Structure 1
């Protein structure tokens, strides 16, 4: 039955275990900082996205997509993938270096976005205190090849272990650099306009108050969790103490979020998945 379909992964997967962590909000921001360092990928976003005008709406849509692919039924995940592929197929951009027009669904660009996203998820989870063995991390990367297939990638072309992810980063690092678009995007990610309900009176042109300072803390933690080579591209943030401070912060944030009642920290897609899993587990075994 469709109502009992547990989707692409299911409750026994490492993917479910990783993505049930609310602290992955930091991982999403870390992935965006990392993705901005790829000039061609950054051009594709800058020339096609309205993220500056609708930053929080875009964030919500991305979060809904990820939750659907992880916790939705197989049909829901595949439908989300089809919609994303159709959107990407209509978009193109101009390479800022060569002037060449390219499609944003080029496999290399899709692969970059996929790898930085899933590596950010599992790395942030581990550094926040989620107990994952090396084998479980490898299993997560292998499972996430199913997500890569949804966006149009050949799963075999996507890193499926931590060692393969490391090798991929070593291969692509010569292409990465801090461009003007990357710098502008990083600044925007660090200090975006807050939703109006969270905004307090403006002083000196900056919306101040607890929500703003809390967001600064999350953004700083996300930057500190970047690989040392990426932090150096952002201007010399490669000190070991930066990484240590970020790890302390993300662990504290995870503990704070764990104190929030479950019904408030779990979205409706995850809750529906848990209900399906509970129904299926309660079913009598066939004789």
Structure 2
């Protein structure tokens, strides 16, 4: 019962320093703050990402999604939420540290034999677009529906703004739905449903591995919740992608899950506290980031800025030019000397992204 009381006790909400990079007038806030965003949308993103052979090679090499799935999921979701909702200083700091974390993810892909680097601009573009596209797909399928043409245009321009926090070039981000669709078609021949990709995708589709130990009385309920999240996420994925990954493609279950999940998301959207309780279950460290937005708490300085402005103001290089000495050091350790990479970026990230234990 103590764990249940902890779950039901939300932390005190602290006003953010500023609105960060988007703010209440953004379409991105509307999409990402809806209950579909940090549930089905985020799960879809991390599952689909694994089809990129370079990305899954890096993920599989660390084995963190298996050895510490809950903290890995929690930290990743917190970072995504920071990009969208946190203040500009904190997010610029987190993005800078992420380059250091990714510096250790270098090596040779055992499937293709090619060199991989988690900081590679094209790898970062794949992660970035998969996330933004996935959250929009989930919003449209289980939420209020398709955005207007004007809102969708604004959404993709905001996606390009957020890309300033990655090592990819924001100019490479498509600004239209058609452009995004063309990007995924161009990527399709490069995607591989390898054994390690299939293993990771099935693992990440199981929401139960991300949840804390449940009181005995609640376990049946949350098994049902996890099953619906899995099926809902599958229903948002193209069939060609599911076939590649060896995942179920049945149309009947896809159709059956939509009204149930849509109704559940509608109910949750009516209560910010209920949405925060759900988020606290999935990702406790993300709650302080999302709470001010969901509860409408005005920041100390109610203004927005851009990542480039924040990077200049707080003394950070743009990610593509950041920490090249550390990145070279990691490459030499891994590829030159056959040693494991150092954990300095990972250790440094803990006060910002949460504990790695």
TM-score band, normalised by shorter chain: 0.7 to 0.9
Considering only aligned residues, what root-mean-square deviation do their CA atoms show, in Å?
2.7
Asked if residue 263 in structure 1 is aligned to residue 273 in structure 2, the reply is yes
Show the counterpart of 2:230: 219
| CA separation of 1:98 and 1:30: change in aligned 2, threshold 3 A | closer
Shift of 1:55: 1.2
For normalisation by structure 2, the TM-score amounts to 0.69
| Gap runs ≥5 in structure 1 | 202-207, 282-287
Asked if residue 106 in structure 1 is aligned to residue 126 in structure 2, the reply is no
Show the counterpart of 2:154: 139
Tell me if structure 2 keeps the 8 A contact 1:92–1:103. yes
Structure 1 residues 217-226 or 59-68, which shifts more? 59-68
Number of equivalent positions: 274
SS of residue paired to 1:102: strand
Distance in 1 between residues matched to 2:102 and 2:115, nearest whole Å: 14
The CA deviation string for residues 103-129 of structure 1, in whole angstroms up to 9 with x for no partner, is 111111111111111100011101113
Distance in 1 between residues matched to 2:181 and 2:151, nearest whole Å: 16
| Gap runs ≥5 in structure 2 | 1-14, 277-286, 304-357
Asked if residue 9 in structure 1 is aligned to residue 22 in structure 2, the reply is yes
Show the counterpart of 1:275: 297
Tell me if structure 1 keeps the 8 A contact 2:19–2:301. no
Tell me if structure 2 keeps the 8 A contact 1:23–1:250. no
- Superposed counterparts of 1:82-121, under 5 Å: 82-121=96-135
Show the counterpart of 2:85: 71
Distance in 1 between residues matched to 2:127 and 2:144, nearest whole Å: 23
Show the counterpart of 2:220: 209
Asked if residue 198 in structure 1 is aligned to residue 211 in structure 2, the reply is no
Show the counterpart of 1:58: 72
Show the counterpart of 2:187: 172
Show the counterpart of 2:261: 250
Tell me if structure 1 keeps the 8 A contact 2:52–2:191. yes
Shift of 1:280: 4.4
User: Structure 1 segments of 4 or more deviating over 6 A?
Assistant: none
SS of residue paired to 1:47: helix
Shift of 1:251: 0.9
Distance in 2 between residues matched to 1:49 and 1:4, nearest whole Å: 36
Distance in 2 between residues matched to 1:37 and 1:249, nearest whole Å: 28
Asked if residue 155 in structure 1 is aligned to residue 155 in structure 2, the reply is no
SS of residue paired to 2:65: coil
SS of residue paired to 1:90: coil
| CA separation of 1:74 and 1:50: change in aligned 2, threshold 3 A | same
Tell me if structure 1 keeps the 8 A contact 2:44–2:237. yes
Distance in 2 between residues matched to 1:176 and 1:57, nearest whole Å: 27
Show the counterpart of 1:205: none
- Superposed counterparts of 1:228-239, under 5 Å: 228-235=239-246, 237-238=248-249
Higher relative contact order (CA 8 A, sep 6+): 2
Shift of 1:276: 2.4
The CA deviation string for residues 128-159 of structure 1, in whole angstroms up to 9 with x for no partner, is 13242133123212101122221222100122
For normalisation by structure 1, the TM-score amounts to 0.85
Distance in 2 between residues matched to 1:245 and 1:40, nearest whole Å: 35
Tell me if structure 2 keeps the 8 A contact 1:224–1:231. no
